C-alpha cells in the first residue's frame, strides 16, 4: 500500500483555499470555515491549507481542540500561537497572559493583548491560524475569534477552522458575523463521488480498481475516513491483488475484522442504549422506523427518543422524516458483524415476526426468516420462493439472491433442488450475473434435468459461448420426456446461438418450431430469432413485421415476456429498413425498459444496436461513443458475447477516419475473442479486412478477404443490409482487381435485395450505385445519387456524390463537379469521415479550388467546438452541477454512456475537473452571446 495519498475529489475546495491564501499574502485578512459530517476529511483539508501556507512562506499557528479545552479558556488559541515557527507569542508573554488570564475582569484585556501580539507579527510576515475541532473549543476562544478577525482585517492573517458546526453551533455563531462583513467563506464537505473513490483506490494500490474492489469501496458512501480505513485493512489482510494491472479483492465477502473493530471503536462515545438502538437498526436494514426498533427491542417508542437523537447528532443515522438510514452502509455492516451469531439469528427471527405482523414486504420477511433459520426450514424456503416469484419480473437480481438463500437451506438430495436451480440460473442470467449463473448451472448438470440445461444454455448464450449453447441444448432435447414448454425454450435458445454461428436457415426453422408453444415469453424470444434470421436473409419488411408482432405480444403479456426485449430486434430491423429515427426511439425506450426491469444481460446489445444505427446514419462520433460504452458495460457484466461486434463497429469508424493502424488493433482483438468462443457474423470481419487491404493499395487482397462473402451474397445479403455503402464498394474492389465475376455477383445481390424491399430508398440507391460502377454508366450513378437523397444514410450518399463529381469533371462540367464536391464535403465533414474528406479535397484541388476554404467546416480536434452534440448535452448538465447519475436520468441514458461522453469531453478540452468544465461552459455561453449581439452583427 502506498504511503502518501494525494487529495482526491476536492478540486473545488483546494482551489478556494489557494485563492484565499493568495488574497491574504497580498495583505488582507480572511477566514475560512471547513464544515462537514464525521470522517469527510475536514482535518485533511485543514492540513492541506497548512502545507500550502508553509510553501508560501507564511507563519503557521495550528492547534486541535479536545474535550479538555472546554474547561481551559483560550488554551487552544494560545497553544497554537506559542508553538508556531517562529512563535507568535513567546514564553514570557505567555506567562504574563497566564498570570492575568484567570480573572474575569481581565478577559477583554487578554483578548486585546492577543490581538496586539498577532498584529505586531502580521506587520512583518503573513500568518495562518489553523484550528481543528472547533466544536470542542471553549467559549472564550470563540469570543476571541469573533472579535479578532474583524479587528485585524487589514493585516495578512488567515483564520482557517475545521469542525462540525452542527455538533455545537453556539461556538460557531461568530462565523455569521464574519460572513456579513464578507470576511470569511465556508466549505461544506460532501461525500466523495464515485470517480473520486475510484481514483483514491488507484492511488492506494497503484492500479485501477476492479469491479469487486470498486463496489466494496462505494459502500463507504464516499466518506474518506471509512474509505481509508477499509482500504488499509484490506491491504493489511492481503485481500487485494494487483496482478494484471488491476486491483482485485479476494477472500470472503465479509468486512475485514480490523475494519469492523475500527468502526466500532469510533462509536464508543455513544451510550450503551444508543448502541443497542443501532444494532437493532443494523439487523432491520435500511430504511427502518423507530417503531420497528421499539417492537424489536420490546420497548416503548417514547423510551427510544433520546437514543434516536444521539444517533442522528453523531451523524451515524440520517433522519428522512418517517424512517432512518445509516449514513454509511459500511458502518451498518460493521455494527452488524459485531453481533454474535446466536443474537443475530434471534433478532432476525424477531424482525420477521414484527414485519409480518405489520404487513411488511414479503421479500424482507423472507430474508429475515432465512437469516434467522436453521437448515431445511420449510417455512423459510417457501417464503423465499414466493417472494422471488413476486419480484422476478421487476428485480431479477434481487429475486435471484432470494433463491440463492433458499438453495442454501435445501438439502442436496431434495427433489425440489433441480427446479430451484433452473429458476435461479435463469434469473441470474437475466440480471447479467453470467459467471454466477454458469457456475450454479454447471454444478447441477449431473442431475440430467432438461430445465437445468435450458437455464445454463441461456446464461451461456448471454455470455456468447454459442458452441456450448448448441451442445447443451442438443443434449437436453435428446433426453426422454422433455416437457413441451421446456423443449420450446431449448429450441428458441438454440436458434439464437445458430444465428451467431452463421446458420440463419436452421435458426429460422428452429425459431418457427419454438413459436408453436403457447408460452408468450418463449414465443417472443423465438420471434426475435426469426426476425434476425429474416433480416440476415434479406427479407427486411418481414423482419420488421415479425419483431413488431413480438413487441405487441410482450407488451400485452407483460412479466417475463418483456424481459425478452423484442424491441432490440425491432430496432435492428428498423435500422436495416432505413427507419433510423424510429430505430433510435425504439433503442432508447428499450434500454430504459431494460434498466427498469433489471435485465442487465441485454444492456450491451442495446449499445450495439445504437452504435450500428449511428454508423449507418453517418454519425461516426456517436457510433464510437455507443460502441465504447457497450464494451465497458460488457466487461463490467462479464458478458462478452457482443464485444467482437462492437470492436468491428469501432474498426469501421476508425477506417473512415483513416486510422488503419488502430483498425488493425481492433481486428486482432476481435479475432482473439473469436478464438475464445465468442462468435460474430463472418462477413463483418471480412468486410473490415477488405477495406483495410484496399486502402493499402491491394484490391486483390480485398477480394480475397471477401471470397466467401461474394459467393453467399445472393442467399445471405446481411452485409448489404448493415452497411449502406458495402455493395458499391464490393463492386469497386472487384473491378480494380480484375475480378469481373465477383463484381457482377455483388451488383446482382444488391439488385435482388432492393427488389425484395422496394420501399427502402437506401437499398435502391445502393443497387443503382453498384450497377453504375459495374457498367460505367454515369446516368445510373445520377439516379443513385437522387435515390440516396431520399434516404438517411449520409455517408453512403457522400461517397456516391464524390464518384458522380468525378464523372462530371471528366465530361468537362467543372462548375457542376465543384458544386457536387462541395455538397459531398459538407456531408463528409458532418460525418467526420476524414479519409473520404481528404479525397474530396484532393479532387477540389485538381479543379483549382484551394482546400483552405474548407478548414472551417471540419470539426475541431480539441476545444469546445470539437464536442459532439451527444457530448454537449452531457457537458451542459454536468456543468450545472448534476452528477453523472443525475445527468443519465435526465437524458434517459445509462450511467456508462454518460461516463464515456464526459471522459471524451475532458480529453478534448484538456481538463481534469468539473470546475474547469463549468468554466469552459460559461466562456462558451459568453462567446455565443457576444456573436449574437447587435454590435457583432453590425461589425
Position 935 pLDDT exceeds 50: no
Instruction: Identify the H or E element spanning 246.
Output: strand 246-249
Q: Which residues pair with 35 in a beta bridge?
A: 163, 188
Strand (E) positions, 715-843?
none
pLDDT, tens digit, 9 for 90 and up, residues 208-255: 888 788 888 887 778 887 888 888 888 877 888 887 788 888 766 567
Distance CA(790)–CA(420), nearest Å, equals 55
More confident residue, 824 or 92: 824
Lowest mean pLDDT among 40-49, 142-151, 280-289, 864-873: 864-873
Torsion of CA 72, 74, 76, 79, to 10 degrees: -100
Cα 568 to Cα 591: distance, rounded to the nearest angstrom: 8
Report whether 436 contacts 616 (CB < 8 A): no
SS3 158: strand
pLDDT digits (tens, 9 = 90+) for 486-516: 899 999 999 998 987 778 899 999 999 999 8
- Label residues 447-483 b or e (16+ Cβ within 10 Å = b): eebbbbbbbbbbbbbbbbbbebbbbbbeebbeeeebe
CA angle 927-915-214, nearest 5°?
140
| Residues 275, 280, 285, 291, CA torsion sign | negative
- Contact predicate 766/724, CB 8 Å: yes
**How does DSSP assign 317-373, residue by residue?**
EEE-SS-EEES-HHHHHHHHHTS-HHHHHHHHHHHHHHHHHTT--HHHHHHHHHHH-
**Which pTM does this prediction carry?**
0.60
Say if strands 184-188 and 59-64 run parallel, antiparallel, or are unpaired.
unpaired
Residue 857 has a pLDDT of 44
* Residue that the C-alpha cell 483498425 belongs to: 663
Distance CA(526)–CA(511), nearest Å, equals 5
Of 357-361, 618-622, 821-825, minimum mean pLDDT range: 357-361
Name the residue with higher pLDDT: 759 or 680.
Answer: 759
Q: Place 700 in a pLDDT band, splitting at 50, 70 and 90.
A: very high
The CA angle 302-305-308, to the nearest 5 degrees, is 145
Per-residue pLDDT averaged across 518-536, rounded? 92
pLDDT at 651: 94
In whole angstroms, give the CA distance from residue 172 to residue 179: 12
- Coil, helix or strand at residue 131: strand
Q: Residue 550 has what pLDDT?
A: 94
Q: How far apart are alpha carbons 22 and 736 in whole angstroms?
A: 69
Per-residue pLDDT at 19 exceeds 70:
yes
Q: How many helices (H) and strands (E) does the chain have?
A: 49, 10
Mean pLDDT, the chain, whole residue set: 83
Burial class of 513 by CB neighbour count within 10 A (0 to 12, 13 to 18, 19+) = middle
What phi and psi values does residue 209 have, to the nearest 5 degrees? -70, 130
| The pLDDT value given to residue 102 | 46
DSSP three-state, residue 272: helix
Q: What are 258-313's pLDDT values in tens digits?
A: 777 777 777 888 899 999 999 999 888 878 889 889 988 888 989 899 999 888 88
* Full 3-state SS string of 49-93: HHHHHHHCCCEEEEEECCHHHHHCCCHHHHHHHHCCCCCCCCHHH
Q: Map grid coordinates 474530396 to a residue.
A: 840
Do 209 and 247 contact (CB within 8 A), yes or no? Answer: yes
Distance, CA of 609 to CA of 859 (rounded, Å): 25
pLDDT tens digit sequence for 374-422: 665 788 888 888 888 777 777 777 788 888 888 888 887 777 788 888 8
The C-alpha cell 415476456 sits at 561
Cα distances from 622 to residues 46, 434, 648, 901, 920, in angstroms, run 43, 28, 15, 9, 22
* Cis ω for the linkage preceding 8 (within 30 of 0): no
Q: Is the separation of the CB atoms in 740 and 734 below 8 Å? A: yes
Instruction: Specify which of 97-111, 157-171, 399-413, 918-932 reaches the highest per-range mean pLDDT.
Output: 399-413
The position carrying cell 434516536 is: 308
Contact 62, 49 (CB under 8 A): no
Residues sharing a CB contact under 8 Å with residue 865, sequence separation 6 or more, in sequence order: 859
- Please give the average per-residue pLDDT across 919-935, as a whole number: 60
Name the burial class of residue 728, with classes exposed (0-12), middle (13-18) and buried (19+) by CB atoms within 10 angstroms of its CB: buried
Question: In the chain, what percentage of residues exceed pLDDT 90?
Answer: 24
Long-range contacts of 312-319 (CB under 8 A, 24+ apart): 313/166, 313/167, 314/38, 314/267, 314/269, 314/270, 314/274, 315/37, 315/38, 315/164, 315/166, 316/267, 316/270, 316/278, 317/278, 317/281
pLDDT in tens, 789-812: 888 888 999 999 999 999 989 989
Give me the torsion for CA of 533, 535, 539, 540, rounded to 10°: 150
Question: Please, what is the end-to-end C-alpha distance for the chain in angstroms?
Answer: 61
Question: d(Cα 507, Cα 818) in Å, to the nearest integer?
Answer: 50
By DSSP bridging, strand 184-188 and strand 127-132 are: unpaired
The confidence score (pLDDT) of residue 938 equals 35
Q: What is the pLDDT of residue 932?
A: 33
Amino acid at each position: 500500500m502506498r504511503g502518501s495519498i494525494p487529495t482526491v475529489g476536492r478540486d473545488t475546495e483546494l482551489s478556494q483555499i489557494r485563492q484565499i491564501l493568495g488574497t491574504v499574502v497580498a495583505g488582507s485578512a480572511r477566514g475560512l470555515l471547513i464544515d462537514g459530517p464525521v470522517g469527510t476529511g475536514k482535518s485533511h483539508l485543514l492540513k492541506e491549507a497548512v502545507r500550502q501556507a508553509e510553501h508560501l512562506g507564511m507563519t503557521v499557528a495550528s492547534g486541535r481542540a479536545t474535550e479538555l479545552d472546554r474547561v481551559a479558556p483560550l488554551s487552544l488559541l494560545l497553544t497554537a500561537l506559542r508553538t508556531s515557527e517562529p512563535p507568535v507569542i513567546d514564553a514570557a508573554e505567555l506567562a504574563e497572559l497566564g498570570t492575568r488570564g484567570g480573572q474575569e475582569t481581565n478577559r477583554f484585556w487578554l483578548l486585546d493583548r492577543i490581538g496586539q501580539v498577532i498584529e505586531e507579527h502580521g506587520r512583518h510576515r503573513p500568518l495562518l491560524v489553523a484550528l481543528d475541532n472547533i466544536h470542542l473549543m471553549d467559549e472564550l476562544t470563540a469570543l476571541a475569534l469573533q472579535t479578532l478577525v474583524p479587528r485585524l482585517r487589514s493585516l495578512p492573517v488567515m483564520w482557517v477552522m475545521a469542525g462540525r458546526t452542527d455538533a455545537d453551533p453556539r461556538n460557531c455563531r461568530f462565523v455569521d458575523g464574519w460572513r456579513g462583513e464578507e470576511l470569511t467563506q465556508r466549505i461544506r464537505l460532501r461525500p466523495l463521488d464515485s470517480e473520486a473513490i475510484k481514483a483514491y483506490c488507484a492511488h492506494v494500490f497503484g492500479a485501477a480498481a476492479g469491479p469487486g474492489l470498486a463496489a466494496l469501496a462505494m459502500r463507504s458512501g464516499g466518506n474518506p475516513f471509512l474509505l481509508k480505513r477499509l482500504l488499509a485493512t484490506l491491504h493489511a489482510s492481503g485481500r487485494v491483488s494487483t496482478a494484471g494491472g488491476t486491483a482485485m479483492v479476494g477472500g470472503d465477502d465479509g468486512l475485514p475484522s480490523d475494519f469492523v473493530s475500527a468502526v466500532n471503536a469510533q462509536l464508543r462515545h455513544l451510550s450503551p442504549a444508543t448502541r443497542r438502538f443501532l444494532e437493532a437498526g443494523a439487523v432491520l436494514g435500511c430504511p427502518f422506523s423507530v417503531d420497528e426498533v421499539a417492537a424489536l427491542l420490546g420497548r416503548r417508542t417514547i423510551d427510544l427518543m433520546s437514543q434516536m437523537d444521539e444517533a442522528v447528532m453523531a451523524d451515524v443515522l440520517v433522519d428522512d422524516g418517517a424512517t432512518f438510514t445509516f449514513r454509511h452502509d459500511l458502518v451498518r455492516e460493521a455494527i452488524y458483524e459485531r453481533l454474535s451469531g446466536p443474537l443475530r439469528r434471534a433478532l432476525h427471527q424477531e424482525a420477521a415476526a414484527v414485519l409480518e405482523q405489520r404487513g411488511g414486504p414479503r421479500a424482507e420477511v423472507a430474508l429475515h426468516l432465512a437469516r434467522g433459520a436453521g437448515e431445511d426450514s420449510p417455512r423459510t424456503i417457501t417464503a423465499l420462493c414466493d417472494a422471488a416469484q413476486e419480484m422476478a419480473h421487476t428485480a431479477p437480481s434481487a429475486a435471484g439472491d432470494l433463491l440463492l438463500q433458499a438453495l442454501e437451506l435445501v438439502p442436496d438430495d431434495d427433489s425440489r433442488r433441480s427446479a430451484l436451480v433452473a429458476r435461479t440460473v435463469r434469473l441470474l442470467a437475466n440480471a447479467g450475473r453470467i459467471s454466477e449463473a454458469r457456475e450454479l448451472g454447471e454444478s447441477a448438470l449431473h442431475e440430467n434435468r432438461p430445465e437445468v440445461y435450458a437455464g445454463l444454455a441461456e446464461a451461456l448464450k448471454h455470455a456468447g459461448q454459442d458452441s456450448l449453447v448448441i451442445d447443451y441444448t442438443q443434449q437436453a432435447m435428446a433426453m426422454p420426456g422433455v416437457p413441451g414448454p421446456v423443449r420450446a425454450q431449448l429450441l428458441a435458445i438454440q436458434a439464437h446461438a445458430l444465428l451467431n454461428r452463421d446458420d440463419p436457415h436452421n435458426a429460422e426453422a428452429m425459431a418457427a418450431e419454438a413459436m408453436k408453444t403457447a408460452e408468450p415469453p418463449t414465443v417472443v424470444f423465438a420471434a426475435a430469432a426469426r426476425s434476425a434470421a429474416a433480416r440476415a436473409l434479406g427479407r427486411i419488411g418481414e423482419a420488421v413485421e415479425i419483431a413488431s408482432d413480438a413487441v405487441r405480444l410482450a407488451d400485452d403479456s407483460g412479466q417475463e415476456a418483456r424481459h425478452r426485449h423484442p424491441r432490440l430486434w425491432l430496432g435492428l430491423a428498423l435500422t436495416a429498413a432505413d427507419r433510423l429515427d424510429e430505430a433510435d426511439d425504439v433503442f432508447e425506450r428499450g434500454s430504459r425498459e431494460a434498466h427498469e426491469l433489471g435485465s442487465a444481460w441485454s444492456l450491451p446489445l442495446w449499445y450495439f444496436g445504437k452504435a450500428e444505427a449511428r454508423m449507418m446514419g453517418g454519425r461516426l462520433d456517436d457510433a464510437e461513443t455507443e460502441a465504447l460504452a457497450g464494451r465497458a458495460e460488457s466487461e463490467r457484466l462479464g458478458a462478452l458475447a457482443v464485444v467482437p461486434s462492437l470492436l468491428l463497429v469501432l474498426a469501421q469508424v476508425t477506417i473512415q477516419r483513416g486510422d488503419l493502424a488502430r483498425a488493425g488493433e481492433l481486428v486482432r482483438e476481435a479475432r482473439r475473442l473469436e478464438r475464445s468462443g465468442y462468435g460474430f457474423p463472418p462477413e463483418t470481419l471480412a468486410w473490415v479486412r477488405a477495406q483495410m487491404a484496399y486502402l493499402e493499395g491491394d484490391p486483390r487482397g480485398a477480394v480475397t478477404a471477401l471470397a466467401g462473402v461474394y459467393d453467399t451474397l445472393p442467399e445471405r445479403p446481411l452485409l448489404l443490409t448493415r452497411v449502406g455503402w458495402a455493395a458499391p464498394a464490393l463492386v469497386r474492389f472487384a473491378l480494380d482487381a480484375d475480378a469481373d465475376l465477383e463484381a457482377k455477383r455483388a451488383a446482382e445481390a444488391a439488385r435482388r435485395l432492393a427488389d425484395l424491399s422496394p420501399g427502402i430508398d437506401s437499398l435502391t440507391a445502393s443497387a443503382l450505385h453498384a450497377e453504375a460502377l459495374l457498367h460505367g454508366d454515369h446516368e445510373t450513378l445520377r439516379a443513385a445519387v437522387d435515390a440516396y437523397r431520399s434516404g438517411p444514410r449520409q455517408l453512403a450518399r457522400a461517397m456516391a456524390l464524390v464518384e458522380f463529381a468525378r464523372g462530371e469533371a471528366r465530361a468537362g462540367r467543372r462548375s457542376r463537379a465543384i458544386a457536387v464536391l462541395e455538397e459531398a464535403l459538407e456531408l463528409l465533414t458532418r460525418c467526420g469521415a476524414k479519409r473520404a474528406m481528404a479525397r474530396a479535397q484532393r479532387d477540389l484541388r485538381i479543379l483549382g479550388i484551394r482546400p483552405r476554404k474548407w478548414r472551417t467546416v471540419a470539426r475541431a480536434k480539441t476545444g469546445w467546438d470539437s464536442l459532439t452534440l451527444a457530448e454537449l448535452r452531457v457537458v451542459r448538465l454536468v456543468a450545472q452541477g448534476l452528477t453523472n447519475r443525475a445527468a443519465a436520468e435526465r437524458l434517459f441514458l445509462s450511467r456508462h454512456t454518460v461516463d464515456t461522453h464526459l471522459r471524451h469531453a475532458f480529453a478534448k478540452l484538456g481538463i481534469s475537473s468539473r470546475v474547469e468544465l463549468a468554466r469552459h461552459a460559461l466562456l462558451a455561453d459568453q462567446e455565443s452571446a457576444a456573436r449574437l449581439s447587435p454590435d457583432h452583427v453590425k461589425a
